[in-house]
Structures are given as structure tokens and as C-alpha cells.
Amino acid sequence: MNKLWEKDTTVDAAIERYTIGRDPEMDLYLAKYDVLGSMAHITMLESIGLLTSDELSVLLKELKTIYAQIENGQFVIEKGVEDIHSQVELLLTRELGDIGKKIHSGRSRNDQVLLDMKLFTRSAIRELHDAVSALFEVLIDQSERYKNVLLPGYTHLQIAMPSSFGLWFGAYAESLADDLQILLAAYRVCNRNPLGSAAGYGTSFPLNRQMTTDLLGFDGLNFNVVYAQMGRGKMERTVAFALSSIAGTISKLAFDACLFTSQNFGFIKLADKFTTGSSIMPHKKNPDVFELTRAKCNKIQTLPYQITTIINNLPSGYFRDLQLIKELFVPSFGELIDCLNMTRSMMSQIEVNEHILDDKKYSYLFSVEEVNKLTLQGVPFRDAYKKVGREIEAGSFVPCKDIKHTHEGSIGNLCNDQIKQFKSGISAAFQFQRIIDAENKLLGR
């Protein structure tokens, strides 16, 4: 077993398996970020005299080779190697001898994994943002396409007032824009550099932490080294709340879609490829894809609370409990992105019933419209309300289906352009290109 901390003791094999757990599997997600962090760290070490320029040159060349292997899917954490940090150092030492042993100066595995998690997370947030944006565009397009098609609005699952597909699609688009606000806040918590905090108490080496901050494209530092270590778990929980918010929007949309496809509603129809049949009932077309999406998103909504139960009674400093967070947190991005991509496909191919309100059972949707019309004619609102109520009770109410809503965000004034502008401002605030440029410069691209 190759361990950075190994001395002359032998570890029991069962205990070793128990303590390592799924780390090698999870560390493959972090591999290229560990290499990027090492490149920035050794560049800084050379600047303070802990590496020569020649040593830096050969180390950077070999690290770029390892990075290329990771990108090409050729990298593995070998059997008997404890984690990604050990594997990278092992490969460098095999190739370069003692020079490879110098890269750990001024670092601990604690701040290495802190850094790896932050670099991974901000990259995953970029992918998540793009998936949210793609669904947002579909929803806005569908809102515009079907803006004049009315459907019933409900409160308490009782027929309430007229709505429209323009409102329905657009509501979920704006919800996603708000979710991106939360993701942006979480991103800013993530995008601060912990490197140099070592085991949580700094180091006597004269590190230049601002240099590694700039090399890796961080917004700034986690200044206090104790707080940098305290940030492990806190960062993941904060980002998990943002993921949970997005998942909540998609779960609600999935519930609506499942409800609206049922024969008792019949508002929308899913493309056949997104449905499955029954083994006994030949007429069935079940919305299984949306049901699974709802379940997966509901599971993701538990993520911040799972992380909280791991970290909520830990004092300051590092504890091995934190290792388990990776198993919950790291795969969650891929799961949520899958849900977003599948929802985008379903919503782009959805078939809308354009004649829902032809059914007489929806006549009472227009009762408020009649009350408002009388009020505009000078009848006090409460008197108008009672008059229409009496007509409904007597069975003499005749709806007028001529809808004229003009205020911002209503059926006749969806404000989709303003929603798009709102979302664009949030997207621009992430400043992803700055990070892409920093990483490409570090890699010599």
C-alpha cells in the first residue's frame, strides 16, 4: 500500500478497507483537479526557492502528461494506492526520482482535498449552470409558442382561475433563474482558495498563497487557515442547498406533468418514447420518465440534510467523518444534470391540448372575470362578488371567456423578455471564462 503518511507500521487489511472506503472511486472524479492544484503549488514553490527552475520544468511536463492521461481515460488509481494524492506523487517519483517527492512541501492532504473539492465543484457548477440554461431556453420558447392557449389554474386542487401554457412554462423558467441566483451565491462560497492552510494551521514555509489563488483563477483566498479547514463540509452543504433548489423546481414540474398527462386532466401528452406500458393493461402509457425524475430530484433535495448530519457536531479541525461527504456530494451533480437533460428533452417534445376549456366543467374559472367586469362598471367589489355567487348557486352563470389581463407577468403580458434579461445577468456574474482562461494558461494551452 502506497501511503503519504506511511512509516514503519503495518496496517490491518480489514481496517484499511474500512477506512479507505470508496475514496479511490470518488478520487477519480477529482484526479485532474489534483493535478491542476499540484501545478499551481509547485509553480509557487519555485518562486520561493523550494524548487529550482529545472525541477519545476520537468515536474510541470510530467504533470501535464498525467493530466492528458486523465482526460483520455487512461488514468487509474492502482491497487494498493490509497488515494489520488498518493497516485500522482507515485507516478512522479517513478518517472523523476527524488524530484517527485518534493511536491508535497508546504501542503497537507487536508488542504489538497479541500482544493480538489473546490476545483471539482466549481467545474461541476459550470456544467450544471449550462444544463439549467438549456432547459430555461426550452421553457421560454414553449411559453412563447403556447402563450395564447388557456388552461385551468388551481388552488387546493380545485378549479380556480384561468391560466395559460404561457404562464405555466414561463413560471418554471423564472423559477430556474431564481435557482441560479442561489447557485451563484454557493459558487462564490466555493471559489475561494484554501491551498496553503495545510492541516488547518498553516506552515512555516514562506508560501505565496495569493500566487496560487491567481494561478487557479480563484476570486480570492480563504484567509484564516483554521477557517479554511472549517470550510470543508460547509462548502459542500452550501452548494447542496443550491442543488436542492434546482431539484425542487424540477420535481414540482415533474409532478405537474404527471398530473396533466392523466386522462382526468388531459392537458398534455408526452412523446411515446418517454412512457412505458403495463404488463396487464394494454391501454397504459405511464409517465415513468417523469416519475423517476421526480424521485431522483426528491432524493437530491435530502442532500444538504445528509451532509448536515455528518458535520453538525464536529468541532474545528479535521476529522475523518468528512471523508464520507464525497460519496454523497460528488455524484449528485451528474444525477441532477441527467434529470435536467431528460426534462429538457421531454418539455421540448411535449404535445399541448389547445381546447381544454371547451369542456363546460371549466366554466366557473371565469367567475372572477365577471366579478372584475362588474366592479369596473362601478358595482362595489363585494356586491359584485355576491351577485356572481348567487348566479353560480342558481345555475344561471354564463361565463365570458374573453380574457384581458395586461399587468406585468399576467396572461396577456408574460414578461418573458424581462425574465430572460434577469437570467442573463445572473449567468454573466459567474464569470466562468476567467477560470477557463486561468486553467488553460496553467496547462500551457
pLDDT digits (tens, 9 = 90+) for 151-210: 999 999 999 999 999 999 999 999 999 999 999 999 999 999 999 999 999 999 999 999
CATH number, domain 109-151+163-358+415-443: 1.20.200.10
pLDDT tens figures, 229-251: 999 999 999 999 999 999 999 99
Quick one: average pLDDT of 333-357?
97
Nearest to 395 by CA among 369, 371, 368, 360: 360
The tally of CA atoms less than 13 A away on the side-chain side of residue 239 is 30
Distance CA 184, CA 367 (A): 42
pLDDT at 11: 65
Q: Which of 370, 419, 380 is nearest to 161 (CA)?
A: 370
Rounded-to-integer distance, Cα 272 and Cα 350, Å: 10
- pLDDT at position 43 is 98
How many CB atoms lie under 10 A from the CB of residue 67? 22
Mean pLDDT taken over the chain: 93
Confidence of residue 107 (pLDDT cuts 50, 70, 90): very high
CATH superfamily of domain region 13-102: Fumarase/aspartase (N-terminal domain) (1.10.275.10)
Q: Write down the domain spans for the chain.
A: 13-102, 109-151+163-358+415-443, 359-413
How large is the greatest C-alpha to C-alpha distance in the chain, in angstroms? 94
pTM for the predicted model, two decimal places = 0.93
Q: Is the pLDDT of residue 21 over 80?
A: no
CA distance 296 to 290: 10
Q: What is the pLDDT of residue 5?
A: 44
pLDDT score recorded for residue 25:
78
Same fold yes or no, 13-102 and 109-151+163-358+415-443: no
